[in-house]
Amino acid sequence: MTKLFYFAAISSLLIFPTYLLAQRDDDVISVDSSIVVMNAAITDSSGKAVSGLSQKQFRVFEDGIEQQIVTFETEETPFAAVILLDTSGSMEERVSLARSAAIRFLDGLRRGDLTAIYNFDSKVELVQAFSNSGEMREQVFDLKANGMTALNDAIYKAAEVLSKRPEKRRAIIVLSDGADTMSKNSADKALKAALSINATIYTVDMSSLDLKPSDRAQNKGALTNFAEKTGGRYVATPGGVAMRDAFKRIVAELGEQYTIAYSPTNIKKDGKWRAIELRISRPNLTIRTRKGYNAPKPK
């Protein structure tokens, strides 16, 4: 079977969860587990993306049981990303800083990369449709801090939008202080929505330095969880050189990831969580990929 056929099949499977989206928090998105796709970012000790690894250097385990890799792709390929700008009242003067961070990301887009921009406060709204342009529309510069914070709803919406995209590599870029105050969806449901369509979440912590240490720790925990579970990055410093370098690495990673697919040996449709572990024979490398998926529920 050719790689082209495999990825045609994979694309259809990744789009499938769109039809399962629902507003009830107990109705969690799940994937058809006949093929599982992983996008993996591999970096060295300096944080630089590592290229040139071969399939034989990778091993995939699901719930501790080794799986057979059916496709392995290493070429640079375009990605689709959704940028989520927190414009809630808690962001106050930091909306302009979040906008500057988003501009840094747009500056790094390559030919074929597509990005959409949504803002979220008490609701989630589209402000710029998918485009390859490195420019922001005027509407983005008119955004003001106001209302509550629907962070989980924003991530869930981004997953829904990305599920309709044909790109194999998908990302959600969250620029927020991490304090969700009114979402209809739980953090767990939002995370599972992103995992079900194989989206990597990158979070930039925009928390005010004036926050109490306990509040900052809580916000960091929420943002870190989204990033770590999906194989993304948590960026603690939203300004200056650190921010510029972080976004440069994010764009590079999205273009240079390894795309791996396997057919799981566990075909039970029980709705349970399946933990994924990716191993590489070469030492001293950091692997970031999604941590698992939810099997389909029984009919």
pLDDT at residue 13 tops 60: no
Q: With bands split at pLDDT 50, 70 and 90, how would you rate the model's confidence at 19? A: very low
Same domain, residue pair 57 and 203? no
Same domain assignment for residues 88 and 30? no
Residue 189 has pLDDT above 70, yes or no: yes
Structural domain boundaries enclosing 16: 3-74+260-294
- State how far the Cα of 238 lies from the Cα of 226, in Å rounded to an integer: 17
Contact between 153 and 185 (Cβ < 8 Å):
yes
Predicted local confidence at residue 238, as pLDDT: 63
The structural domain count of the chain equals: 2
What is d(CA 293, CA 199) in angstroms, rounded to the nearest whole number?
A: 12
Chain centroid to CA 175: 13
Domain assignment present for 227: yes
Are both 216 and 198 inside the same structural domain? Answer: yes
Q: Does 299 fall in a domain? A: no
List 173's β-bridge partners, or say none: 83, 202
Residue 154, phi then psi, degrees to nearest 5: -65, -45
Tell me: do 221 and 149 sit in the same domain.
Answer: yes
Express each pLDDT in 215-240 by its tens digit. Answer: 888 888 999 999 999 999 898 866 66
pTM for this prediction: 0.82
Q: Among candidates 265, 273, 186, 218, which has minimal Cα distance to 90?
A: 218
Instruction: Please say whether the beta carbons of 87 and 118 come within 8 A.
Output: no
Biggest distance spanned by C-alpha atoms of the chain: 58
Per-residue pLDDT at 3: 39
Half-sphere exposure of 270 (CA within 13 A, CB side): 6
Same-domain status, 64 and 92: no
pLDDT at 166 over 50: yes
Residue in 86, 93, 163 with CA at minimum distance from that of residue 125: 86
What type of residue is 249? R
Q: Are residues 67 and 89 in the same domain?
A: no
Q: What is the pLDDT of residues 110-127, one digit of tens each?
A: 888 999 999 999 999 999
- Other Cβ atoms less than 10 A from the Cβ of 280: the count is 17
Q: Lowest mean pLDDT: which of 86-90, 123-127, 256-260, 286-290? A: 86-90
**Does residue 178 contact residue 219 with C-beta atoms inside 8 Å?**
yes
- The answer to whether residues 211 and 89 belong to one domain is yes
Residue 63 sits in the same domain as residue 147? no
Of 137-146, 162-171, 188-197, 289-298, minimum mean pLDDT range: 137-146
Judged against a pLDDT cut of 70, whether residue 4 lies above it is answered with: no
- Do residue 29 and residue 131 come from a single domain? no
Task: Please compute Rg for the chain using Cα positions.
Answer: 18
- Same domain? 13 vs 160: no
Q: What is the CATH number of the domain that holds 217?
A: 3.40.50.410
Do 250 and 270 lie in a common domain? no
Which tens digit of pLDDT belongs to each residue from 57-85? 999 999 999 999 999 988 778 899 999 99
